């Protein structure tokens, strides 16, 4: 029997993620949204593309959480998108209500599911989902780090005029503005980027990565990024579903690792069939530790505002 993936939120990120899963043919998809007709219409459109992709999976849309029952993975993308001049943190309370309701429904209908949180501010929303569901922390995680790394790889590839496939990027900390780059562990075919790029140029690329989401919001005027977030989410789904055990930067629960306790924040992890199977600890320099702690402090402030 095929695995079942539920995507909560049939907006641009949710629908694009559903499309990627269906095209790859790795699981049946249930697309949920509270807006009547939207998940059904988008699911039908994706389903009608499956014959052209050579995919035999089921793709359905629903407004009823009962239809999401016994999902293996649930992705939470529902929430309010950013508008120009808004930060991810501005969405905190509005999206907290959405994520809490979704988490309660997941715990009721799919108690054995693994949860991937995409909704912003993502680190704090992952912590909220974990607290609400009372699942093992290994089965709840946030997406942001993979997206930040992909953006960093893109900008580095453009600057160096090389394939992004040859670039490996490592990041820590909160998603977006609180991101902590690790140039020592960011390489082009094994060569640290700090040995190839001038410090000023590298700093500019890091800053562009931090504000990568805001740059897209500013260009679109209405709405936010969704192609790259969906692709990042799909990479996580695939690693879990196929037990690939990829080492990826994700928002994971720390309970002493990196000297941090009781907080979801971006770190490299091993993703497999059990979810977050291992938090990978790397030795940080003094400056890196300072930046990481500042990022953790910013995320913890958001979590405290949720009073969870």
CATH code for the part of the protein at 4-143: 3.40.50.720
**Sole residue written with tokens 């990022």:** 295
Work out the number of other CB atoms within 10 angstroms of the CB of residue 259. 12
**pLDDT tens digit sequence for 90-110:** 778 889 999 999 999 999 999
pLDDT of residue 89: 64
**pLDDT tens digit sequence for 267-293:** 999 999 999 999 999 999 999 999 999
Q: Are the CB atoms for 17 and 233 separated by under 8 Å? A: yes
What does DSSP assign to residue 85? T
pLDDT of residue 297: 95
**Sole residue written with tokens 């453009």:** 158
pLDDT of residue 226: 95
Residues of the chain with CATH 3.40.50.720: 4-143
Query: CA nearest 267: which of 169, 174, 129?
Result: 174
Burial of residue 3 (number of CB atoms within 10 Å: 0-12, 13-18, 19+)? middle
Catalytic, out of 100, 151, 175, 300: 175
pLDDT of residue 269: 97
Our answer to whether residue 93 is catalytic in this structure is no
Residues of the chain with pLDDT under 50: none
Indicate the fold that domain 145-306 takes in CATH.
Answer: L-2-Hydroxyisocaproate Dehydrogenase; Chain A, domain 2 (3.90.110)
pLDDT of residue 1: 84
pLDDT of residue 150: 95
pTM for the full predicted model: 0.95
Q: Which long-range contacts (CB under 8 A, 24 or more apart) does 110-114 make?
A: 110/6, 110/68, 110/69, 110/70, 110/71, 110/72, 110/74, 111/135, 112/70, 112/72, 113/6, 113/71, 113/72, 113/73, 113/74, 113/139, 114/72, 114/73, 114/74, 114/139, 114/140, 114/141, 114/240, 114/275
CA distance linking residue 225 with residue 212, whole number of Å: 9
CA distance linking residue 85 with residue 301, whole number of Å: 21
Residues of the chain with CATH 3.90.110.10: 145-306
pLDDT of residue 87: 64
């Amino acid at each position: 029997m095929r695995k079942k993936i539920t995507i909560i939120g049939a907006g641009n990120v949710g629908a694009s993620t559903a499309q990627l899963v269906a095209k790859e043919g790795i699981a049946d998809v249930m697309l949920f949204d509270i807006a009547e007709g939207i998940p059904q219409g988008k699911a039908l459109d994706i389903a009608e593309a499956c014959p052209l992709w050579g995919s035999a999976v089921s793709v359905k849309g629903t407004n009823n959480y009962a239809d999401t029952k016994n999902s293996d993975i649930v992705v939470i993308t529902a929430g309010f998108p950013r508008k120009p001049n808004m930060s991810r943190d501005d969405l905190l309370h509005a999206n907290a209500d959405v994520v809490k309701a979704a988490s309660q429904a997941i715990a009721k209908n799919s108690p054995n599911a693994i949860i991937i949180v995409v909704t912003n501010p993502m680190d704090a929303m992952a912590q909220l989902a974990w607290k609400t569901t009372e699942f093992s922390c290994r089965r709840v995680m946030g997406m942001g780090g993979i997206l930040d790394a992909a953006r960093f790889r893109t900008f580095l590839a453009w600057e160096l005029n090389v394939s992004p496939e040859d670039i490996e990027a490592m990041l820590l900390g909160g998603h977006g503005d609180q991101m902590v780059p690790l140039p020592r562990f960011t390489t082009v075919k094994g060569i640290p980027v700090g040995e190839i790029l001038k410090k000023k140029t590298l700093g500019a690329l890091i800053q562009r990565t931090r504000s990568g989401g805001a740059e897209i919001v500013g260009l679109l005027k209405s709405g936010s990024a969704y192609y790259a977030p969906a692709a990042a989410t799909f990479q996580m789904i695939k690693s879990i579903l196929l037990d690939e055990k990829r080492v990826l930067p994700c928002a994971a629960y720390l309970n002493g690792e990196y000297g941090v306790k009781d907080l979801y924040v971006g770190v490299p992890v091993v993703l497999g069939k059990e979810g977050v199977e291992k938090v990978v600890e790397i030795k940080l320099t003094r400056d890196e530790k300072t930046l990481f702690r500042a990022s953790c402090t910013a995320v913890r402030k958001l979590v405290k505002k949720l009073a969870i």
